[in-house]
Amino acid sequence: MAFSGWDNAAPGEEYSIDEIAAYYGTIGPYSMLEAPSLSRWGRFPFMVRALAKNGVEGLFEPDAKVRVFMRPMPGANGVMDYDIRAFPEDIFDKPETLRRFIDMAEERAIHQSDPKGDEPWSEMFSAKEYRMPYCEALLGLEPPYSEEDMLKMYRAFADQNAEIDRRCAILSGLFRTGAERFSGFCFALAREGLDDPDGRRLFAPWDVVLLFFEFEENGDIRNVATVPLRMVNFYVPEKLKAFADKIGTEEQEA
């Protein structure tokens, strides 16, 4: 009986790699061994077990088993394309190793980022759907969550830490920016979304955002700037300070 998907596979029936790959198809140089599933990594929200049948020079030997992470993106002539990253399958031997991998890979992605400030919104920073490692509170979450779960979570963080303008629940302690005016920032959970004056989405409900604080001499808060997380490399001190200085300059000129 020809292979027609794992859902239809008869118990005890054996199938060749070629049969399985022929049914599920290929993505880039990789032959898929199953249907893609959700990864919970916002940058690459889908993943699939696959085979590097002919190898990939400099990466994988022929017939190496891999885990491919995928992000849909518009292709030529309106056809959907995918940005992909592949890693050896044997590093995902336990459920917790996938979580640790996402944490490591996401931190590395931020470290290597160089935001220009005009990056379009995407769903990748939604605490409702995706895992993020930026602070202890986020490390304790296990998405996905329902809308009701998120409302309860928001209220719990707001009660435990603080709430800013009834729209953002603080998730972390304060981190120094090195800037003179907006000298501290923290991670927060947005209860409501926000668009800019041109109608472009800045962030959506349940996105993780950054709050930059300007303080009075006595320590009271003078001003708060809510910033989409994608716009800041907060791991590299020089880039963080430059961004906070830019906020201060724009605020002074406004």
| pLDDT per residue as tens digits for the range 144-188 | 999 999 999 999 999 999 999 899 999 999 999 999 999 999 999
Contact assessment for residue 217 and residue 234, using Cβ atoms and an 8 Å cutoff? no
Banded pLDDT at 251 (limits 50, 70, 90): confident
| Residues whose CB falls within 8 Å of the CB of residue 134, separated by 6 or more in sequence, listed in order | 107, 110, 172, 187, 208, 229, 234
Average pLDDT value for residue range 183-212: 96
- 213: how many CB neighbours lie within 10 A of its CB? 19
Q: Is 42 exposed, middle or buried (0-12, 13-18, 19+ CB in 10 A)?
A: buried
Banded pLDDT at 1 (limits 50, 70, 90): low
pTM over 0.85: yes
Considering the chain, what is the average pLDDT of its residues? 93
Tell me: the pLDDT tens digits for 27-76? 999 999 999 999 999 999 999 999 999 999 999 999 999 999 999 987 76
The pLDDT of residue 254 is above 70? no
What pLDDT score was predicted for residue 250?
84
Tell me: the pLDDT tens digits for 89-138? 999 988 789 999 999 999 999 999 999 988 999 999 999 999 999 999 99
What pLDDT score was predicted for residue 74?
79
The pLDDT of residue 208 is above 70? yes
Side chain identity at residue 130, one-letter code: Y
Task: Tell me the C-alpha distance between 165 and 132, whole Å.
Answer: 24
